[in-house]
Amino acid sequence: MPLSYEDMMEKDLMCPVCCGLYREPKALSCAHNLCRTCLEGVIWANSINMPDESPDTIKCPVCWEETPRTGPNAPRDNHLLTATVDKYITINNAPKQPTCPVHREQPLNIYCSTDQKLICGACGTSDEHENHEVSSLDNGIIQEKRLLLEWLVGFERAQLSLSQLESHKEKALQEISKDSDEVKAYFENLQFVLEQKKNEILSEWECKKEALKQEYDPEIKRQKAKVDEQREGVNVAKDLGEVSNPIDFLQEMQKFWGKFTLLQEEPLPSFSSVTSMQKIDTRAWDDTKLADMGNLSWPPKHPTKRQEIHWNISCWIWALSAVLIIFAMMMTALFFLSSNDFHPTYNDSGFLVVVYSPSSAEREAGRLSFYFTVEELTDMAESCLVYITDILETLAEFTSYFTCMKGPEEKQLYKLFMLLRT
């Protein structure tokens, strides 16, 4: 491969001893050049290797021609060669203009703004870059620097926006952490208050339970002893039921009454003095505000066991009115129904029954129709039916309420009373 002009020139500027560019070259009489340091090395080598030779001459390491060390023909500074080497170094260190990879040896001295790349003159006239925006290198530099500046400004804005987002994120996280700590502390305090209030109420409830036990236990113990005695009397009464001899029966009954008379005559304990239990209605706490949780009190109570009914004036007026209305209805029925309309007789089974004959009632109804029309009598009957139904419903609610207020013993007595009443 032939050497280029640059390679040939660089070979001419190289020292034959060190094979590098000349540094302070010295010209010999034979026209060969050596670096100053290389020349000193040759002189020293000659004095060592060839001591018999004349020390006043220098043998050229290229052609072995002798050059006097002193005199007009002595080695001298080659200023022209030094300037040439310096210029070569300057040119060689300068940036080389790139060439076109398509059109060899053509410099890239045109800038295509459309493709944003360097092209040569041949490329600029080709179809590939037809209608493209092209400019000189200087204008291309100005244009690209402007675009680069705009990009840097956009980058700075994006970086600033990123910094602001990160700052806002940290601030938001701090606010959320602060709010979270406040919520946590609030609910921990609320939980503490609720737990404290729960223990307080339950402690009071336990005290009530203990007080209730102390009140009920003696009465239960006393009543249990009496029931045991009564149970013994029941067993004796069952045995007496099997005695068939009248004399023996009466004698045993005399003994029975002698033993159990005191139990019968002793009055039963009064349950009105026993504490009346009341159910706690916790629904009253549903509307309590969180800020007032520490001030919770016992909720309203509604009765669930025996409790005396306190009648006020309105209750007494209503009850008296009901009694008067019922009395008026009874008198009206007696007015329409005469005693002559009821006739005692015997049925087919031989039982005595009372038969109602509406003859007198019909006469009274006919006399009443003289003063009222049929439509008026119908309206009066419907109105009376409504009033009577209302009264009966009220009495039913009152009776149900009264029954719920009673204890087990009172319920049994109430049922027995209603049975005897019928």
Contact yes or no for 353/342 (Cβ under 8 A): no
In angstroms and rounded to an integer, the radius of gyration of the C-alpha atoms of the chain is: 68
Nearest CA to 358 among 343, 376, 371?
Answer: 343
- The model's pLDDT over 314-343, given as tens digits with 9 standing for 90+, comes to 555 666 677 677 767 766 665 555 545 545
- The model's pLDDT over 48-59, given as tens digits with 9 standing for 90+, comes to 766 666 667 888
Averaged pLDDT, 351-362: 47
pLDDT at 178: 93
Q: How far is CA 187 from CA 173, 359, 388, in A?
A: 21, 84, 58
Helix (H) or strand (E) holding 346: strand 342-346
Contact yes or no for 329/321 (Cβ under 8 A): no
Residue in the block written with tokens 């959320």: 176
Q: What is the pTM of this model?
A: 0.33
- For 26, other C-beta atoms within 10 Å of its C-beta total 22
> CA angle, corner 188, sides to 184 and 190, nearest 5?
115
Is residue 219 over pLDDT 80?
yes
* Token digits of residue 310: 């306190």
- Check residue 406 and report its DSSP letter: S
Q: How far is CA 320 from CA 105, 283, 327, 389, 392, in A?
A: 133, 36, 10, 17, 14
Strands 352-356 and 33-35: unpaired
pLDDT at 318: 65
Is residue 71 over pLDDT 50?
yes
Is residue 4 over pLDDT 80?
no
